[in-house]
Chains A and B, each alone.
Chain A
Amino acid sequence: MEFAELIKTPRADNVALHRPFYPAVEGTLCLTGHHLIFSSRRQDNAEELWLLHSNIDSIEKRFVGSLGTIIIKCKDLRIIQLDIPGMEECLNIASSIEALSTLDSVTLMYPFFYRPMFEVVEDGWRSFLPDQEFELLSSATDEWRLSCINKEFSVCPSYPPVVIVPKSIDDEALRKVAMFRHGSRFPVLSYYHKKNGMVMMRSSQPLTGTNGKRCKEDEKLINATLRPGKRGYIIDTRSLNVAQQARAKGGGFEQEVHYPQWRRIHKCIERFNILQESLIKLVEACNDQSHNMDRWLSKLEASNWLTHIKEILTAACLAAQCIDREGASVLVHGTEGTDSTLQVTSLAQIILDPRCRTIRGFESLVVREWLQAGHPFQQRCAQSAYSNSKQKWEAPVFLLFLDCVWQILRQFPCSFEFNEQFLIMLFEHAYASQFGTFLGNNESERSKLKLPQKTMSLWSWVNRSEELCKFQNPLFEANSLVIWPSVAPQSLQLWEGVFLRWNRPSKFLDEAQEEMISIIKYNKELQAKVNALRRQLAELETDDRMQENL
């Protein structure tokens, strides 16, 4: 298919662009296969806006006489308005944008056409391989092995080709366990806590059904992670009620009789449309500037967004607490094990593992616990807060995770190598990107799409020093501690950097950030200077002494 067919009017002049907090700009609008480009005509201060079609969440058109107005709402929550003279042009442009922003074939997406303008120093597709991860693990324990049972994605379509499982469990047993778990997502290693050798595993729900089916291999597999006489915890991210209802559909939960060494705790993390609706309501509240204080607070409350944040963080803290404080191993699952499960396992690692608070380590965490673990990004991030379609697969699961990370970052501002911008960047790229990293729903799909061969990885771009410096937290001081965030309502805040980003000017906050960076930078330079001087002085003194000795 040619994009040209979809572009009825490739260019319009005398278009006015309106954005919040900027004066309106007049200029030319161009449509290409993947971008909406606006460029102002002014020579002194030419301004350009490039917007990926895939970033467009919804589009509205209005007419006053022959002046058409298009309101574009983006997945990154920005809203812009274009005034286009001429009804026909406006209609054409609107329908072109609509068509281009809702392409149904992945291979038509921009990452397949994007040619990087930067030199690739390190291929991000090869930056975080399971073997490396396993090597790290092997240095600490020999109780685990890499299994290639899923090589052709033949056992579990949403798992990567290699997974880490207890050494004592062979592939034959794994096959049986896979039959007993929803979507074949058998328990695999998620995190090994070096401090005490405890582990966190994740899986999907067991298929116990109404008559309490059991699977000896499944029991054996997870028991293999327990120390003699020790007990483990199963954290079910669903309420007991929901878990019980799941039995009617063939799902269920681990029953005490069959898992006597495990204590099960139910947490209540919401899913799918409930989260999507929460996001829609929250963004609606943030965008409505006519609210008085009471209405704003009641809308913020009614969106339930912060409630979800609190639930997710609480569950993650609990998992971390079981591992670090109780000295127990943990298995986390919900229903499919691709959403709330991953929120909990990845956040628990941020709490427990200082490595996950570095840039590299966090990237590795996203790769392991989200991309390879089979979080269906394409389904979940197809639409954002302005979608009006009633598809049921969209959900801001990853955004909630990033928001939780931001909450922890806010409480431990010196413990993270990255800053808030890094998290916002990941949010943007999960929803619309020139890179192939977040395309597809799992490794199997990515491999069929040949993404590593045909697209550029986000990590190839981010991990260059030019980019990295934007994402570094000047306050960072590595610490090896477990960090326990507070989950009290007073400690949790609306993530303004994402939700109010386009609704308020950021000049004064940006200046504060700059000031902070320059204070710290100056001190470091000063320290370096003092050190150099000291060394020089020491050298001179030794020279003197040698001369005296002569």
Chain B
Amino acid sequence: FHTLLMLQVENVKLLDRYTNRKAANGTLYLTATHLIYVEASAEVRKETWILHHHIATVEKLPLATAGYPLLIHCKNFHVAHFVIGQERDCHEVYTCLLKLSQPVKPEELYAFSYNPKMSKENREIGWKLIDLKVDYQRMGIPNDYWEITDVNKDYEVCNTYPPEIVVPRAANKAVVIGSSRFRSRGRIPVLSYLYKENNAAICRCSQPLAGFSARCLEDEQMLQAIREANPGSPFMYVVDTRPKLNAMANRAAGKGYENEDNYDNIRFKFIGIENIHVMRSSLQKLLEVCEMKSPSMSDFLTGLENSGWLRHIKAVMDAGVFLAKAVKDEKASVLVHCSDGWDRTAQVCSLASILLDPFYRTFKGFMVLIEKEWIAMGHKFSHRCGHLCGDPKEVSPVFTQFVDCVWQLMQQFPCTFEFNERFLLEIHDHVYSCQFGNFLGTCHKEREDLKIFEKTHSLWPFLLQKKQELRNPLYRGFTAYKELQPNTLPFSFQFWCGMYNRFDKGMHPKQCVLDHLLSCVSQKVKLEDSASELENKLPFLDGPLPSDACPLPKVGPAASKTPMLNTPQGYEGDPPPALSNGAAGGDEDVLSDVDQRNKENLSPHQDLHGDTIEVLDSEAKEGKPQHH
């Protein structure tokens, strides 16, 4: 513990975000990787862990009576409000955190020091767990129309694409190279998903450098090759996921969109998903709503509307649905792009794949999908998540929106995903945690340069270890459902409290159906084992079992093991409830000598007695609340 300890501050309070109950004193520790707060006086040892990489902002607030407040916002939507006794301490913590939360060099990222004490072989096996070639094989590629080419092996075609890409056989090297010169950053059209049933394909690229009149024969040939790789359809869609106005503005800069007259048999379509800057400010507004102190229903709904967040989620979903329908119902191939083809395009292509193919709704499939459409194709995780100190305007919740869309699908189709909500949250956590190598850097080439395959671990084997708690007990298996056709009417979209108010446990249902069912599932295995064991011991038993079974012993669900967070929550002045601040999850192993961490963050039962009387008293005086 102490070898890693960088700073220790006594006399620190962690305020509860909502109630005004007196916070207990505790100790704040800074280690190389985490901020750890231990509440001293609690009956249950209560710890809060925050990974430095998860910290989005640290603010010093004006002096309060209790001391010097420090407000920390995390990228996983955890908000921690500390009050530190001494100004000097507060400032020291503040400057330390500023430095620790914004590493400058990639080598400072957690993944490079993270050591789960795993053998080299196992680490390497971990990186080989996801093999994109296998996924293309699953789609039947290579076949008569599509091939895997290493034309980009030295990143000559496109330095943000992986070395191996899938292009139409009909597109020879000259076409590929020619097309790459006509596409922004050389991001040529490549295959994202092939719908085997009818040969319709989803392809992706960046915007063409069309300007007002430029054209490129090879690019036109490339699109023709894609269209002809699907002989069943006389046309193909070209979908620009940007709002038309944005796309037109790009023409002035020599970029833009495809001219329908120049390409044979394409149907061009805009789907207006807003850009990263709009999305960033939308999330900011949403989080402000989530953080409001005792909002009325109106405040909340108006804030939700004004944030535009659900509007954007719906736009992404609408686009995904359009792609899936084009492929399945119209049997047409689709080429998708936005500007650079690494944000909106990634969202839309991966969502369409989930809608079309049940494989991507399994653990393995979802990992493949993220590796394929996001990591390999150069979604700039490092910039979008702000892993390193850099341009704040590059940060945007593009991946968060994708995860939100998947969650929306889970709500509409509860039996179709192999994994549950927690799997999404785990992945979302680790996209920001920099604990594993997968999401570091901006593209495959950069990850190679960083030597992440040699120096870091892959996330996926770690998630698979936790499969039992991340699985969906209602999953009906791979073959139960094929394509999904979600309802995209506005009322089908919900605010995801489990994500954006994830650490405000008081807002969540107090009993968890998922836990209950998971414990049923694990119990089932045990019961089946003991049933067959008993049957073996009774070799002479032939007849039917007696049906008058004795009274059932309690089938104890997990719910009864974890006490309910169940206290009244100041209904008289309605500050909304929230009982605890959670710890950042997923970061095992370091500081193993610290007492067992209490990740549940059980808060001791609150006694609202004192506060309540006070408020009740003041309200009772002819109903005029007095402000203390």
A interface vs B, CB < 8 Å? Answer: 233, 239-240, 263-266, 286, 289, 291-298, 300-301, 304, 306-307, 309-310, 314-315, 317-318, 320-322, 324-326, 410-415, 475, 477, 481-494, 496, 500, 503-505, 508-509, 511-512, 515-516, 519-520, 522-524, 526-537, 540
Closest to B560 in A: A477
**Which residue in chain A gives the minimum CB-CB distance to B488?**
A293
Q: A519-B521, A533-B531 are in contact. Are A477 and B569 (CB under 8 A)?
A: no
- A523→B521 CA distance, assembly (Å): 8
Name the A residues within 8 Å of B561 (CB-CB): none
Given contacts A301-B305, A325-B608, A527-B555, contact A292 B490 (CB under 8 A): yes
B497 proximal to A (CB < 8 A): yes
User: Assuming A292-B490, A486-B576, is B301 touching A515 (CB within 8 A)?
Assistant: no
A535-B550 in contact given A296-B490, A321-B568 (Cβ < 8 Å): yes
Say whether B537 faces chain A, with CB atoms less than 8 Å apart. yes
At the interface, yes or no: B21 with Cβ under 8 Å from chain A? no
CA distance A485 to B574 in the complex (A): 12
Is the beta-carbon distance between A490 and B501 smaller than 8 angstroms? Answer: yes
Q: Which of B456-509 contact A (CB under 8 A)?
A: 473-474, 476, 487, 489-495, 497, 501, 504, 506-509
In the complex, which residue of chain B has the Cβ closest to the Cβ of A303? B301
Contact of B549 among A291, A292, A307, A528 (CB under 8 A): A528
Residues of the B chain whose Cβ atoms lie less than 8 Å from the Cβ of A310: 296-297
For residue A325, which residue of chain B has the nearest CB? B568
**Interchain CB contact under 8 A, A511 and B489:** no
Query: Are B612 and A414 neighbours in the complex by a CB distance under 8 Å?
Result: no
Q: Which residues of A contact B474 (CB under 8 A)?
A: 512, 515-516, 519
Contact A411 B510 (CB under 8 A): yes
Question: What 13 additional pairs, Cβ within 8 angstroms, besides A293-B311, A534-B534?
Answer: A263-B616, A265-B620, A286-B491, A297-B304, A318-B572, A324-B568, A326-B609, A481-B566, A486-B506, A486-B508, A489-B300, A523-B524, A537-B537
Interface pair B559/A477, CB less than 8 Å apart: yes
Contact of A293 with B553 at beta-carbon distance under 8 Å, contacts A265-B616, A523-B527 already known: no
Residues of chain B within 8 A (CB-CB) of A493 are: 494
B56 at the interface (CB under 8 A from A): no
Q: List 27 A-B contacts (CB under 8 A).
A: A265-B572, A291-B490, A293-B314, A293-B490, A293-B493, A297-B301, A304-B297, A307-B298, A321-B572, A325-B568, A411-B509, A481-B566, A484-B568, A486-B507, A487-B574, A487-B576, A489-B295, A504-B492, A516-B474, A520-B517, A522-B524, A530-B527, A531-B553, A533-B531, A533-B534, A536-B541, A537-B538
**B132 interface contact, C-beta 8 A:** no
Q: How far is the CA of A526 from the CA of B545 in the complex (A)?
A: 12
**Distance between B307 CB and nearest chain A CB, rounded to angstroms:** 10
Q: Which residues of A contact B555 (CB under 8 A)?
A: 523-524, 527
CB distance from A328 to the nearest CB of B (A): 9
Contact indicator B413/A527 (Cβ below 8 Å) = no
| Measured CA separation A450–B257 after assembly (Å) | 77
Report B587-599 CB contacts with A as 1/0, cut-off 8 Å.
0000000000000
Q: Which 3 A-B pairs have the closest CB atoms?
A: A488-B576, A489-B300, A240-B623
Set B490, B516, B531: member contacting A475, Cβ < 8 A: B516
Asked, given contacts A240-B622, A294-B311, whether A520 binds B520 with beta carbons under 8 Å apart, the answer is yes
| Chain B residues within an 8 Å CB radius of A239 | 623
In the complex, A475→B567 CA distance in Å? 22
- Chain A residues whose CB sits within 8 angstroms of the CB of B608 once the complex forms: 321, 325
> Once the chains are docked, how many angstroms separate the CA of A530 from the CA of B297?
50
**Which residues of A are found within 8 Å of B560, using beta-carbon distances?**
477
Contact of A509 among B308, B414, B493, B550 (CB under 8 A): B414
Instruction: Flag if A483 contacts B566 (CB, 8 Å).
Output: yes
As a 0/1 sequence over residues 303 to 315 of chain B, the CB contacts with chain A under 8 angstroms (1 = contact) are 0110010110010
- Cα–Cα, bound, A264→B537 (Å): 69
Q: Which residues of B contact A289 (CB under 8 A)?
A: 489
Complex CA–CA separation, A481 to B520 (angstroms): 23
Residue in A closest to B608 when the chains form the complex, CB atoms: A325
Distance in angstroms between the alpha carbons of A411 and B511 in the assembled complex: 7
Are the CB atoms of B571 and A317 closer together than 8 Å? Answer: yes
The residue that B511 contacts in the complex, of A264, A414, A482, A530, with Cβ under 8 A, is A414
Across the interface, do A511 and B524 meet the contact criterion of CB distance under 8 Å? Answer: no
Closest partner residue, chain A, to B579 (CB atom): A486
State the CA gap A307–B299 with chains docked (Å). Answer: 10
- B217 interfacial by beta-carbon distance below 8 Å: no
> Are A306 and B297 touching (Cβ within 8 A)?
yes
Q: CB distance B511 to A511 under 8 Å?
A: no
Interface residues of B in 238-272 (CB under 8 A from A): none
Is there an interface contact between A263 and B617, defined as CB atoms closer than 8 Å? yes
Out of A264, A504, A532, which one reaches B545, CB within 8 Å?
A532
Chain B residues contacting A534 (CB-CB under 8 Å) are 534
Known: A296-B490, A530-B527. A488 touches B549 (CB 8 A): no
A3 to chain B minimum Cβ distance, whole angstroms, is 40
Rounded to whole angstroms, the CA-CA distance of A536 and B296 in the bound complex is 61
Q: How far is the CB of A268 from chain B (nearest CB, A)?
A: 10
Complex CA distance for A515 and B508, rounded to whole angstroms: 23
Provide the residues of chain B in CB contact with A412, threshold 8 Å: 509-511
Note all chain A residues with C-beta closer than 8 A to B552.
524, 527-528, 531
Closest to B564 in A: A481
Chain B residue contacts of A500, Cβ below 8 A: 491
Q: Which residues does chain A contribute within 8 Å of B116, judged by CB atoms?
A: none
Residues of B within 8 A of A (CB): 290, 295-302, 304-305, 308, 310-311, 314, 412-416, 473-474, 476, 487, 489-495, 497, 501, 504, 506-511, 513, 516-517, 520-521, 523-524, 527-528, 530-531, 534-535, 537-538, 541, 545-546, 549-550, 552-553, 555, 557, 559-560, 564, 566-569, 571-572, 574, 576-578, 608-609, 612-613, 616-617, 619-620, 622-624
* Other-chain residue from A297, A314, A414, A488 in contact with B310 (beta carbon distance below 8 A): A297
Contact status B493-A540, CB under 8 Å: no
Q: Are B491 and A314 in contact, CB atoms less than 8 angstroms apart?
A: no
In the complex the two chains form, is A298's CB within 8 Å of B524's CB? no
Inter-subunit contact B513/A413 (CB<8 Å)? yes
Tell whether, in the assembled complex, residue A529 and residue B490 are in contact, meaning their CB atoms are under 8 Å apart: no
Name which of B487, B569, B578 has the most chain A CB atoms within 10 A of its CB.
B569
Q: Which residues of chain B are near A481, meaning CB under 8 Å?
A: 564, 566
**Is the beta-carbon distance between B509 and A413 smaller than 8 angstroms?**
yes
Q: Which residues of A contact B619 (CB under 8 A)?
A: 265-266
The chain B residue sitting closest to A484, CB to CB, is B568
> Which chain A residue lies CB-closest to B537?
A537
Q: Are B568 and A320 in contact (CB under 8 A)?
A: yes
Taking a contact as CB atoms under 8 Å apart, the answer to whether A526 and B517 are in contact is no
Q: If A413-B511, A414-B511, A488-B506 touch, does A519 touch B311 (CB 8 Å cutoff)?
A: no
CB within 8 Å for A325 and B612 given contacts A294-B305, A297-B305: yes
Q: Which B residues are CB-close (under 8 A) to A536?
A: 538, 541, 546
Q: Which residues from B are CB-within-8-Å of A488?
A: 504, 506-507, 576-578
Distance in Å from the Cβ of B105 to the closest Cβ of chain A?
Answer: 39
Residue of B nearest to A536 (CB): B538
Q: Which residues of B contact A533 (CB under 8 A)?
A: 531, 534-535, 538, 545
Q: Check B297 against A307 for contact (C-beta < 8 Å).
A: yes
Residues on A with beta carbons closer than 8 Å to the beta carbon of B549: 528-529, 531-532
In the bound complex, CA of A435 to CA of B361 (Å) = 47
State how many angstroms separate the Cβ of A238 from the closest Cβ of chain B.
10
Which A residues are CB-close (under 8 A) to B491? 286, 296, 494, 496, 500, 503-504
B535 neighbours in A (Cβ, 8 Å): 533
Q: Is the CB of B516 within 8 A of A512?
A: no
Q: Are B527 and A527 in contact (CB under 8 A)?
A: yes
On chain A, the residues within 8 Å of B497 by CB distance are 490-491
Collect the chain A residues with CB atoms within 8 Å of residue B297's CB.
301, 304, 306-307, 309-310, 489, 492
A487–B571 contact, CB under 8 A? yes
Q: How far is the CA of A534 from the CA of B538 in the complex (A)?
A: 10
Count chain A CB atoms within 10 A of each CB in B308, B521, B523, B564 and give the residue with the most: B564
* CA gap between A235 and B474 in the complex, in Å: 44
For A290, give the chain B residue with the smallest CB separation.
B489
